[in-house]
Structure 1
């Protein structure tokens, strides 16, 4: 992702108004989106990418951070698919592709579910993620643990601020 992609994110956010309504917030304006992209570009652990379908059409975005909140964690901050393209397995395909190319040493993948979003919960559970931490009303965390013997798995999510 580069700064010149901010207009595409703006277009995408406007194609997913129900997500922002679910959060009880307005769609970010272009200046806010541009600022967020700038911040992401200065954080080597944060990765923003646009999701395109097989025909090259913009269908979504993925925002994740490596080694957050702990070393060995990868946290998916936002997986957003345009409303007119949901229920086509695009989100699932995106997550599966990410899981296939996780950075070496990744032990846990975390996903935040913002607001009261039972559909989001079902999505992550269907992909093998399980409830990790209740931080409602803002969010809940779901996790998939990778390659750790059961006796070495941490029991709680340690939330650190950025």
Structure 2
């Protein structure tokens, strides 16, 4: 049996200058966008979205880095839907890095650092059985479906 390698995962707040990097990450995850029935965003879409990030003081977005390389993205909102809640709107692990426990580590890190939040909601877009199974395995329970393309999950913190 070989030595076990621990995966170091670093979290870096996204800045507007990260748009090309984030866009490339999205392009490396075509399966996710196909699943939710969307084209991957254009670079202009990403630039626009990152510009709105600075206007919403409740929203947080992080690049997940492994050995300096962007392998994922996490986007969540504090004090939403209620003041004591937080809502994870996207946890994306690059397709060539899925199945290695990175999503689990990122989620655990987020939950450990949500000071003051009592609940974490997760929004799953589209018909995404893998994401639903992932969040249920992490202790989230299904709350409601919001329209055909939205499912909400929650976990007490």
TM-score normalised to structure 1 length: 0.87
Cα deviation for residue 145 of structure 1 reads: 1.5
Separation in 2, partners of 1:35, 1:103: 29
Count of aligned positions: 144
Runs of 4+ in 1 over 2 A off after TM superposition: none
Match of 2:77 in 1: 65
Match of 2:58 in 1: 45
Match of 2:106 in 1: 94
**Can you give the 5+ residue segments of structure 2 that lack an aligned partner in the other structure?**
1-13
TM-score normalised to structure 2 length: 0.89
- The 5 Å alignment of 1:52-131 reads 52-53=65-66, 55-104=67-116, 106-131=117-142
Cα deviation for residue 134 of structure 1 reads: 1.3
**Can you give the 5+ residue segments of structure 1 that lack an aligned partner in the other structure?**
147-162
Cα deviation for residue 137 of structure 1 reads: 1.3
Compare the two structures and name the one with the higher strand fraction.
2
| Aligned-residue RMSD, C-alpha | 0.8
Cα deviation for residue 107 of structure 1 reads: 1.0
